[in-house]
Amino acid sequence: MRFRHGISIVGVLAAALGAAAVSVHASSAAPTRAATATSTIDKTYSCPVRRQHFVELFATVTYPPVNNQPQPGVLALTTVVKTIKENGATATVSQVSLQARKNSLRIDQKSCRRVKHQIPLTRKGLPGPPLVSTPNRTGNANVRCGTTGRLLVRLRVKLTNGTPIHALLAIRNTQANHRPIAFYDWSARKVTGYSANSCVATL
């Protein structure tokens, strides 16, 4: 499946990030180094679920280029069926997505609304062992999970110069006493994913 990772919210993110520059102070004898902008986003959304009552999680690490084409790590949650035409092909819109590349964080705010209620960023209540992916352990941590009509999705992302470097994603079932569905710990070097018994691994 080809993913177009969400809908651009560059304007919203620019205001929300408030990226604080980490100044590097150079001595008179040392060359001046460029400042590094670091920031963390931590938000919770309420997202709808397709009428078939399942969601899909797609997660990979960064792999070496293929035919000179980069393969950045990906984390994407798709909760509803939503497609667009892109370069003559049909692309799936994920409701939450990011890649290990600059300015890649996307939230489909037409589908998911921001909420104040937060859910724990923990695997508590989810069985193991986890699905694990690393550059030396080729594979993925993709799952399809059964659920009810709506989800709470919390995403915490650390960015450096606009590039996601670490993310925690927790998903809970709104209409089943906030029962946990999945918890993912993502980076470009390693993905660890825990999911409920209603989930099955996919390719």
* Residue 69 near residue 101 (C-beta atoms within 8 A): no
* Residue 158, number of CB atoms within 10 A of its CB: 16
116: exposed, middle or buried (Cβ count in 10 Å: 0-12, 13-18, 19+)? exposed
pTM for the model: 0.80
Average pLDDT of every residue of the chain: 84
Q: Is 50 exceeded by the pLDDT of residue 18?
A: no
What is the rounded CA–CA span in Å between residue 183 and residue 168?
7
pLDDT tens-place string over residues 118-147: 899 999 999 999 999 998 876 678 999 999
- The C-alpha atoms of residue 60 and residue 99 are separated, in whole angstroms, by 9
Cβ partners under 8 Å of residue 98, min gap 6: 5, 74, 75, 76, 104, 105, 106, 157, 164, 167
Q: What was the pLDDT predicted at 139?
A: 66
**pLDDT per residue over 60-106, tens digit each?**
999 999 999 999 999 999 999 998 888 888 888 999 999 999 999 99
pLDDT: which is higher, 22 or 63: 63
37 CB burial (10 A radius; 0-12, 13-18, 19+): middle
Q: Report whether pLDDT(7) > 90.
A: no
Is residue 45's pLDDT more than 80? yes
C-alpha to C-alpha distance for 31 and 58, rounded to whole angstroms = 43
- In sequence order, what are the residues at sequence separation of 6 or more whose Cβ sits closer than 8 angstroms to the Cβ of residue 165? 100, 158, 159, 187, 188
Domain boundaries, the chain: 3-19+36-201
